[in-house]
Amino acid sequence: MTHGVSAGNGSSRFVVVGCGTVVPESDRACSAYWLESGPIRLLLDCGPGSLQAMARTGLPWHAVTDLALTHFHADHTGAIPGLLFALTYGLLPDRRIEPLDVWGPPGTAEFFEHLSDAYGEFVLDPGFEVRVHETVAGGSNELGTEVALRTHSTPHTDESRALRIELPEQTIVYTGDTGPSDSLPGFCSGAELLVCECSLPDSHAIETHLSPGSVARLAAAADPEILLLTHVYPQFRLAADVPRLVSEAGWPGQVELAHEGWTRRFST
């Protein structure tokens, strides 16, 4: 497995767009992540504030080819109408013609129909094709010829999913929102980068979110090269050294706290 700053014939990159929670914060958008590999420009979740964060971090938001959703909570989906509105009218006098593939859990097609009813026809008919694919947990989906997207149910909402993106030489897993799960470590294993929620302190651990103890157990079983903590409530993050708590809870490997613009490049 190779990684590092790209050299030679191509590169992939993962960029944190938004790593916040439902709580409004001045320095971070709600959940959104950008993964680029070859012709694929994949946005993982599209929470409030993520369009402005893509602009701040210099990401080519207008070139997005795929949108993958973990679940329908507003902090993960709230900017979808704005994204489609921007793709419809934000490029004038040019118009986008490339299709957008949307990958989401069961209910995604109905979710987009409701958005269209509320915001207007541009949601599903923005002048280019919006292709909504409802993924099957445990199944694998091909994005282009070299990227595979796999999904796994998580204990958070009925539809919530973790996402595993397999590039030609690297694997990235994003837990989305999840509680502790016996089956999640297997789904995460072999990942070079594990983007893992760590919402709450152990003293407030609940069944639908992770805390340092459950994150450390997941990481120790999955053994990623890098553990990136995200979706940390500010009441927790601003009062504690969260990566250190995860280390002390039993994860001896590399662990970092996500911030807007955090980037990992992979050579291919």
Catalytic residues: 75
Kindly tell me which of 36 and 260 has the beta carbon lying closer to Zn ion.
260
SS3 48: coil
Which helix (H) or strand (E) element contains residue 211? none
Q: How far is the CB of 217 from Zn ion (least distance, A)?
A: 21
Using alpha carbons only, what angle is made at residue 196 by residues 22 and 265, rounded to the nearest 5 degrees? 110
Give least dist CB 226 to Zn ion, A: 21
The residue (of 177 and 260) whose beta carbon lies closer to Zn ion is: 177
Distance from C-alpha of 6 to C-alpha of 265, rounded to nearest angstrom? 7
215 and 201 Cβ atoms separated by less than 8 Å: no
Give the whole-angstrom CA distance, residue 154 versus residue 102. Answer: 20
DSSP helix/strand/coil, 98: coil
In whole angstroms, the minimum distance from the beta carbon of 94 to Zn ion comes to 34
Nearest CB to Zn ion, comparing residues 126 and 176 = 176
36 or 177: CB nearest Zn ion: 177
Cβ at position 153, least distance to Zn ion in Å: 14
In the chain, the N- to C-terminal Cα span, in Å, equals: 10
Site residues (vs Zn ion, CB under 5 A): 73, 75, 177
How far apart are alpha carbons 9 and 103 in whole angstroms? 28
